[in-house]
Amino acid sequence: MRIEVVGLGKAGLPLAAIIADSGFEVIGLDISKERVEQINNGKNPFSDEPGLDDLIKKYGGRRIKATTDIQMAAKETNVHIILVPLFLNSENQPDFRYIDEAVMGLLTGIKKNDIVVIETTLPVGTIEDRIKPKIENAGWRVGQDVFLAYSPERLMSGFAISRFKEFPKIIAGVDEESSSRASEVYRKFIPRLYLVSNTRTAEMIKISEGVYRDVNIALANELFKLCEKDGIKYNEVRQFANHEFCHLHQAGLGVGGHCIPVYPNFLIQKNKEGTPLIQLSRKINDGMVKYWIETIKNDLKKLKKQNVTICINGLTYRPGVKELYHSRSLELVKQLKALGFDVYAWDSLLSKEEIESLGIKYKKPEECEYVFGEFLIKTG
């Protein structure tokens, strides 16, 4: 059995490494020539992912062969796992471009008895209503010639390898035979695998996790604002309020990254009437940038000084993860700049050149008169 992993990103590459480490030959497909070359040279593009360096050094170009050749990758393998991104378009609707391209790519080379497993987080119904018809339109009988399943990726950047080894993973096929064949393969490299009723349930399980986080972060942000008004320390409240049935989240600048702020929209866009809490939570979390701008303005008034240099300490959406998608700190910099403030940024994961390439001035926190650090709010 040879396994294809389509999309060698922050999620796909650790998966390819885990599969290789379980003894299987992997062909990794990516559209980025640079990434493919790096991996084949044994170099890990994600140095912030513990444990991945060793695995890529060991298997890159050997048991994991990376390629940009779509047809060859599909022809030479019999299990095809897709883990490409799914973003939102400007109307907050899911943009299926990458996943559609990846599925159409597979269809240039798949064979009878091949198994296709999608891992990208998807809106409910995508496997049955979008992916399955594409495979059938290419002439394959799903469940008889080709088998289709869904197993959403649940890793967290920075913990990818350990999550694959320890975290429960779910899987579901579009029919009994697909469930059975796909889970038989996955059990060979995922130790804690659970078969759930159907692909719609599996899609909803993954989205629900993201929505739970978003709603609870919104609650934390609201409680934080109320505490601030009353001179109460939210972190102290949180520390002593939390117990088995109460799990107050951290408050902050909102929610970034391409997971938690994205997935609630999968439900909202399909059911505007039925998602008031989910919609409000999105609004509260995205509104935190404005809240902090008001706080910063009030702090600056107290300094009684003109043209104060402000440093935003930390631009990535989460500490330790070099990812800027929907970063609230970037939005904060943008809005402060638009208001005419003298704003700079610093980040332990980004070089001066990388920060300047974002159109942002670079200065270290100690070189500025006022420092804002989202991660300091969370912990301090």
Ligand X SMILES: NC(=O)c1ccc[n+]([C@@H]2O[C@H](COP(=O)([O-])OP(=O)(O)OC[C@H]3O[C@@H](n4cnc5c(N)ncnc54)[C@H](O)[C@@H]3O)[C@@H](O)[C@H]2O)c1
For ligand X, the closer CB: 35 or 282 = 35
Q: How far apart are alpha carbons 321 and 8 in whole angstroms?
A: 17
SS3 30: coil
Task: Choose, by CB under 6 A, the member of 3, 4, 5, 11 that binds ligand X.
Answer: 11
Q: Which residues pair with 344 in a beta bridge?
A: 311, 361
* Least spacing, CB of residue 93 vs ligand X, in Å: 15
Nearer to ligand X, 30 or 347 (CB): 30
Order of strands across the sheet with 25-29? 64-67, 25-29, 2-6, 79-82, 115-118, 147-150, 169-173, 193-195
Q: Which lies closer to ligand X via its Cβ, residue 85 or residue 248?
A: 85
Q: How many separate helices (H) and strands (E) can be counted in the chain? A: 17, 14
CB nearer ligand X, residue 108 or residue 242: 108
Residue 115 and residue 79: Cα distance in Å, rounded? 5
Q: Which is nearer to ligand X, 87 or 241 (CB)?
A: 87
- CA-CA distance, 184 to 186, in Å (whole number)? 6
Please return the burial class of 286, using the count of CB atoms within 10 Å of its CB with bins 0-12, 13-18 and 19+: middle
From 23-31, 171-179, 229-237, 278-286, span contacting ligand X (CB under 6 A):
23-31
Instruction: Indicate whether 9 belongs to the interface with ligand X (CB under 6 A).
Output: yes
Contact pattern from residue 148 through residue 187 relative to ligand X, giving x for each residue in contact according to CB under 6 A and a dash for the rest: -----x-xxx------------------------------
Report if residue 322 touches ligand X, rule: CB under 6 A: no
Q: Is 377 in the site for ligand X (CB under 6 A)?
A: no
Binding mask 238-277 for ligand X (x = CB under 6 A): --------------------xx------------------
Residue 2: count of CB within 10 angstroms of its CB: 13
CB of 353 vs ligand X, minimal distance in Å: 21
- How many residues bind ligand X, per CB under 6 A? 28
Q: At closest approach, how far in Å is the CB of 374 from ligand X?
A: 19
**Which of 3, 5, 8, 110: binder of ligand X (CB under 6 A)?**
8
The CB-of-309 to ligand X minimum distance in angstroms stands at 34
> Which residues, at least 6 apart from 92, have a Cβ–Cβ distance to it below 8 Å?
265, 268, 269
- In the structure encoding, which two tokens stand for residue 111, read together? 């064979």
Which residues, numbered 69-128, are part of the site for ligand X (CB under 6 A)?
83-86, 98, 101-102, 105, 120-121
Q: How far apart are CA 374 and CA 103, in angstroms?
A: 39
Q: Locate all alpha helices (DSSP H) within the chain, ordered by sequence.
A: 12-21, 33-40, 52-59, 70-75, 97-106, 126, 132-137, 160-166, 176-186, 199-229, 234-241, 263-268, 276-286, 288-303, 328-338, 352-356, 374-379
> CA nearest 27: which of 51, 58, 1?
1
7 forms part of the interface with ligand X (CB under 6 A): yes
* Residue 21 vs 323, nearer CB to ligand X: 323
CB of 115 to ligand X, least distance (A): 18
Q: Between residues 8 and 182, which has the closer beta carbon with respect to ligand X? A: 8
Residue 135 in tokens: 């495979």
**Residue range at the interface with ligand X (CB under 6 A); choices 5-13, 165-173, 195-203, 274-282:** 5-13
Interface ranges with ligand X (CB under 6 A): 6-12, 29-32, 35, 83-86, 98, 101-102, 105, 120-121, 153, 155-157, 258-259
